[in-house]
A and B are shown apart, each in its own frame.
Chain A
Amino acid sequence: MSNVFGKYTPYNTIIHRLDPRIKFFALIALMVMCFLPYGNYANRFIILGILALIIVVIMIAGKISPLSIFSSLKSLWVMMIFLLIIFVFVQQGVDTSSLHPMIVFSNGYTIYWEGLFQTLHVFFRLILMLCLTLILTSTTTPMDITYALDWYLYPLKLVKFPTQIITMIISLALRFIPTLLDESQKIMKAQKSRGVDYNRGFLATKIKSITTLIVPLLVSCFSRSVELSLAMDARGYDPYGKRTSYKILKFHTRDTVSLIITLLIMALFITLCALCVYYPGFDNFLKLFFGVDAF
């Protein structure tokens, strides 16, 4: 199979060896950091830039090529254009006195810089989020992710919520992603040799050619799940039974250290955010430090 985006790669780096629970926590923490309000646009881009730097360092430590993200962005271009159009139009409704006009048409219709910046901002956050998930999935085996999830769901067990069923569903789903990818590749090859070209044609032809993939894939999905449930039954699976695990997650020094680093990074960004929100002047770094007027 070709190199699937975000597929686990078995290197032996510090990031790979970290406890999956820590990685999961760090993923969520850093994602939240991406979404905090940091003042005006210049500020936001500076702070997201710092965050991006941290993420790139982690990616390099985990032997993931930061450039690989761009190959997967192809399909996101459509979304970006869509967002741009929406943001350009949405600006019209709000109070426009504080906005900066970019193009003014003869009939008074104005396109504002803010529309462009907002799109870039959303896109930037999206890329960072993609990078973060990429780090988790390509340095952690799907099984480890499930173990981590199981651990985080522990509080629900106290109220008799069947968490083991949820984790079983997730681990089965994760387990079958590569299988389905393999299968879809096989089906695509078979259809390609019948003359389907998945890369060419306009939307209507594309939708038509995608059905030649989806229908067989669904059919085999159903037959697979029936077989799987029979196999599980045959091996005595009881959804409500107590499950044991051969893998016991242990905390090492490196896990504690990386937890502390994550918390420090969180603290830094929350402070920045608080400063930007509550202290006037802080929401515009460029003006504060360099006297440059930015928006």
Chain B
Amino acid sequence: MWQIKTNKLSFVYDKKDPNHYDALTDVNLEIEKGDFVCIVGKTGSGKSTIVQTFNALILPTLGYTQVETFYITADKKLKKELLKNESEEIKKTNKHVANLRKKVGMVFQFPEYQLFAETILKDVMFGPKNFGMKEDEAKKVAIESLKDVGIPESYFERSPFELSGGEKRRVAIAGIIASNPDILVLDEPTAGLDPNGKKEIMALVKKFHDSGKTIIIVTHDMDLVLNFAKTVIVLNDAKLVEVTTPQKLFNSENLDKYSLEIPTLYKFINLLKNKGFAGNLENIYNFDELLERIKEVKHV
């Protein structure tokens, strides 16, 4: 069952400007509930734009995005038509965008810029309180999610601006997951972090996914895609070109066409092939399998 759907979605930036450009053209897409989706493509392919329509931060100029029963479009006529046959309750939810934003948590690139409160705890409590939680309740979920992201209790009363870059980012992410969204969208969550920071963030995302949430990640990091994604969506020049699995994508010939990098695993396999490795190197999907194949050769 799909949870997010886009229908003939198009978006034009600065429509009236002489140098306007199409960020998305005619995208039809369905994302399953509980899926782990990575959206890839070169810079300017429309990745960030499409995920922002999921949260109604960008309204599609043509077509619409649908998140469960919430319709998102800039076309008021279309929205009216879409809602015509829906129940009163759905019409009511559609009136307040907060209902959608509570459902879809959005972690932007460099989320540390969103920190503003005097203390870390207050900053994390901010989201839940906006979505209608009571003070003590918000405090409870804030403490919980701060613990989830690995911020020790001694930090709670400190200013968020005293933290290091990686810590700031974890606090910012805690601020999003504290509202307990059903869908978590992350735009380049690992950009600018050291390898350990990356691992921590991804472990956190994995944990959130394991609790039944849908995860959507926009990324350039193909290792991340190979290791975590169940579904990969490839955008190229504002168009949707492929919805596939990472294994299929990285074993196809199209990588170069979409200007995507080859993950470390496949780089290594290609190197082995070029150096004349004797074993079978087809259909390998992770490092453990590769290790097995290498061991096989040794035994022969």
Contacts and interface: CB of A to CB of B under 8 A. Distances in A.
Are chains A and B native binding partners rather than an unrelated pairing? yes
Interface of A: 1-3, 9-11, 183, 186-187, 189-197, 211-212, 215-216, 219-220
Given A192-B57, A211-B116, A3 B17 contact: yes
Contact of B57 (A1, A193, A216): A193
Interface stretch (B1-9, B63-71, B125-133): B125-133
* A interface: dominant SS: helix
Contacts of A2: 14
B116 A190 contact: no
A190 B108 CA distance: 7
B114 A194 contact: yes
Contact of B106 (A3, A187, A193): A193
B287 interface: no
A191 B98 contact: no
Contact of B116 (A1, A9, A192, A215): A215
Contacts of A194: 101, 114, 126-127, 130, 175-176, 179
Nearest to A191: B114
A288 B225 CA distance: 82
Contact of A195 (B16, B52, B131): B131
A9 B18 contact: yes
A292 B53 CA distance: 60
Interface residues of B, number: 30
Contacts of A189: 52, 57, 106, 108
B12 to A, nearest CB: 12
A219 B160 CA distance: 11
Most chain A beta-carbon neighbours within 10 Å: one of B52, B57, B175? B57
Contacts of A196: 130
Interface in B115-139: 115-116, 126-127, 130-131
B201 to A, nearest CB: 17
Interface in B163-190: 175-176, 179
Contacts of A3: 14, 16-17
Most chain A beta-carbon neighbours within 10 Å: one of B18, B113, B176? B113
Contact of B113 (A9, A11, A187, A192): A187
Contacts of A195: 98, 101-102, 127, 130-131, 179
A195 B115 CA distance: 14
B219 interface: no
Contact of A220 (B17, B97, B108, B113): B113
Given A192-B101, A194-B179, A10 B57 contact: no
A216 B88 CA distance: 40
Contacts of A211: 116
B130 A11 contact: no
A197 B101 CA distance: 11
A2 B58 CA distance: 11
Contacts of B108: 186, 189-190, 193
Interface in B62-113: 97-98, 101-102, 104-106, 108, 111, 113
